[in-house]
């Protein structure tokens, strides 16, 4: 099983997690820029973080044969802090970098006017830089937040096929399916979405434009839940090809729209055996 995790915050994970992920079949991932727990007080603190997303983390992942890409943005939560707004001005520089495959995470946290503004401005950056956009939906008041998200995406004029709306559930999936946007699901140990519920959604809505991630972050989370979802799909009668489509080809198609995905050497099974040897020797 080859796995591409399209949304995982490796900054908050240990090196042991990289090792376990590689052993479970994760060969590529996308790490979206997000909040760091401790509020940031100036732009420099963002640029150091962005630099680590395009420098240090790809190096850390590479030691386990995992290809690391990033998305860059001012996250919804910190869009509300006036000390962080200046970040919008440094984004264009990062959006030109190799390994940056989308603008994200953008969207809503508490649905404030400040978030409206940052969200719309960053969708425009995605259009200008010809990048896809990764959109976070709020955890509170999710249905309304998702509707409002889709309205802003429509108004922006961005091609919905270049937008992934993430953290969906049974309540919000239908609206996004009808919008033409990609549908992202974050599988968590005890909140948001489980592997079994995910399988039901795939049965009902099909495999097209579906993205499954572990989103592993500061909260209780598990970077191997992509693998668990693949196993749950097989147990429910989906084929190996179906699993490969959801866990590999779909994220490759979505982020491939950036024309910056670098998957040379990790796509083929021959390389994967190579990785196993490498892991065995470490």
Sites of contact with Zn ion (CB under 5 A): 34
State which residue, 35 or 248, has the beta carbon closest to Zn ion.
35
Nearer to Zn ion, 34 or 238 (CB): 34
Cβ proximity to Zn ion: between 75 and 258 the closer is 75
Determine the distance from the C-alpha atom of residue 20 to the mean position of all C-alpha atoms in its chain, rounded to a whole number: 19
What does the alpha-carbon distance between residue 105 and residue 76 come to, in Å, rounded to a whole number?
7
Least separation in angstroms between residue 203's CB and Zn ion is: 26
**What value, to the nearest 5°, has the Cα angle with vertex 152 and ends 150 and 158?**
90
| Strand 3-5 to 26-32 pairing | parallel
CB of 199: closest distance to Zn ion in angstroms?
A: 22
**Nearest approach, Cβ of residue 216 and Zn ion (Å):** 9
Tell me how crowded residue 147 is: count the other CB atoms within 10 A of its CB. 13
Packing angle, helices 269-280 and 15-24, rounded to 10 = 130
- Least Å distance, CB 129 to Zn ion, is 20
- Helix, strand or coil for residue 173? helix
Q: Which is nearer to Zn ion, 65 or 184 (CB)?
A: 184
Q: Count CB-CB contacts under 10 A for residue 264.
A: 9
Task: Show the CA angle centred on residue 161, arms to residues 223 and 33, nearest 5°.
Answer: 40
| Least gap, CB of 240 to Zn ion (angstroms) | 28
Taking every pair of Cα atoms in the chain, the longest distance, rounded to a whole number of angstroms, is 53
Distance CA 29, CA 3 (A): 8
DSSP E strands, 33-118: 67-72, 100-107
Integer Cα distance of 143 and 149 in angstroms: 10
**Which residue's CB is nearer to Zn ion, number 149 or number 275?**
149
- CB 276 to Zn ion: min, Å: 29
Taking the least distance from each CB to Zn ion, the nearer of 22 and 33 is 33
Q: How far is the CB of 128 from Zn ion (least distance, A)?
A: 23
**Which is closer to Zn ion, CB of 214 or CB of 275?**
214
Return the SS3 of 61. helix
């Amino acid at each position: 099983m080859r796995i591409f995790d399209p949304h995982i915050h490796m900054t908050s994970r240990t090196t042991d997690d990289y090792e376990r992920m590689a052993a479970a079949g994760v060969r590529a991932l996308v790490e979206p820029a997000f909040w760091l727990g401790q509020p940031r007080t100036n732009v420099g603190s963002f640029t150091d973080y962005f630099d680590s997303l395009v420098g240090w983390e790809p190096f850390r992942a590479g030691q386990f044969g995992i290809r690391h890409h990033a998305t860059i943005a001012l996250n919804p939560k910190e869009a509300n802090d006036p000390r962080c707004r200046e970040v919008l001005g440094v984004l264009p520089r990062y959006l030109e970098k190799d390994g940056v495959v989308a603008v994200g995470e953008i969207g809503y946290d508490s649905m404030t006017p400040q978030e409206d503004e940052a969200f719309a401005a960053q969708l425009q950056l995605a259009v200008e830089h010809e990048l896809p956009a990764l959109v976070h939906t709020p955890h509170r008041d999710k249905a309304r937040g998702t509707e409002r998200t889709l309205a802003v995406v429509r108004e922006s004029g961005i091609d919905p096929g270049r937008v992934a709306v993430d953290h969906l559930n049974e309540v919000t999936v239908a609206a996004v399916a009808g919008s033409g946007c990609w549908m992202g699901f974050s599988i968590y140990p005890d909140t948001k979405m489980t592997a079994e519920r995910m399988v039901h959604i795939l049965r009902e809505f099909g495999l097209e434009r579906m993205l499954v991630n572990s989103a592993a972050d500061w909260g209780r989370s598990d970077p191997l839940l992509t693998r668990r979802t693949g196993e749950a799909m097989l147990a429910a009668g989906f084929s190996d090809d179906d699993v490969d489509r959801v866990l590999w080809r779909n994220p490759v198609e979505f982020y491939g729209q950036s024309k910056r995905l670098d998957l040379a050497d990790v796509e083929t099974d021959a390389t994967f055996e190579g990785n196993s040897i490498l892991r065995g020797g470490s």
